[in-house]
């Protein structure tokens, strides 16, 4: 526990130091408008870069949330199988997986999985 914490702290410190070195080597006192504009194929950026995005992506994130939670709930199944609680775990997990599958089929039929309608 302590050692893995040390490793994590070490990783973050190491990378941060690397970043400091980069900033020290690379920062330049000169800056101009053209140098600091975001890249847009040689044109001046016209509007704000905070673009509206397709609703599909948002929908996908919501579906992901549901499925990810269900996956997280499924994981303890392995331990219960290891502890030989076979009958109950098979029953509950297959019920769970059937619900997951039904949800997937519902999403599919509804058309929220297909990118182009």
Partner 1 sequence: MMMISTLIKSLTLFLCLALSVGFYTLVERKVLSYAQLRKGPNKAGFLGIPQPLADAMKLFTKETTKIQKSMFILYNISPVLATSIMFITWMLYNTPANQNTIIKLSIMLFIVISSLNVYTIMLSGWASNSKYALLGAIRAVAQTISYEISMALLIMSILLISLNFNMEKTSISQMPTLWMMFILPLIFSAWMITMLAETNRSPFDLAEGESELVSGFNIEYGSGEFALLFIAEYGSILFVTVLTATLMLKGSFNTINLTQMVKIMTLAFTFLWVRATFPRMRYDALMSLTWKTFLTLTICSVTMLITHNNI
Contact between 99 and partner 1 (CB under 8 A)? no
Q: How many CB atoms lie within 10 A of CB 43?
A: 8
Question: For the residues of 14-67, what is the DSSP string, one character each?
Answer: HHHHHHHHHHHHH--S---HHHHSPPSTTSPP-S-S-----HHHHHHHHHHHHH
How far is residue 81's CA from residue 75's CA, in Å, rounded to a whole number? 11
Kindly state the smallest distance separating residue 108's Cβ from partner 1, in Å: 7
Work out which of 31, 109, 110, 111 binds partner 1, going by CB under 8 A.
Answer: 31
Q: Which residues bind partner 1 (CB under 8 A)?
A: 2-4, 6-8, 10-12, 14-16, 18-19, 21-23, 25-28, 31, 33, 35-41, 45, 49-51, 53, 57, 60-61, 64, 67-68, 71, 74-75, 77-79, 81-82, 86, 89-90, 93-94, 97, 100-101, 104, 107-108, 113-116
């Amino acid at each position: 526990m302590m050692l893995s914490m040390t490793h994590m702290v070490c990783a973050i410190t190491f990378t941060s130091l690397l970043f400091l070195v980069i900033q020290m080597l690379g920062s330049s006192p000169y800056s101009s408008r053209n140098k600091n504009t975001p890249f847009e194929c040689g044109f001046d950026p016209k509007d704000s870069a905070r673009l509206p995005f397709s609703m599909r992506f948002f929908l996908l994130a919501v579906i992901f949330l549901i499925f990810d939670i269900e996956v997280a709930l499924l994981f303890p199944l392995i331990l219960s199988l290891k502890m030989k609680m076979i009958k109950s775990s098979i029953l509950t997990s297959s019920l769970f997986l059937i619900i997951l599958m039904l949800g997937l089929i519902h999403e599919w039929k509804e058309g929220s999985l297909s990118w182009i309608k």
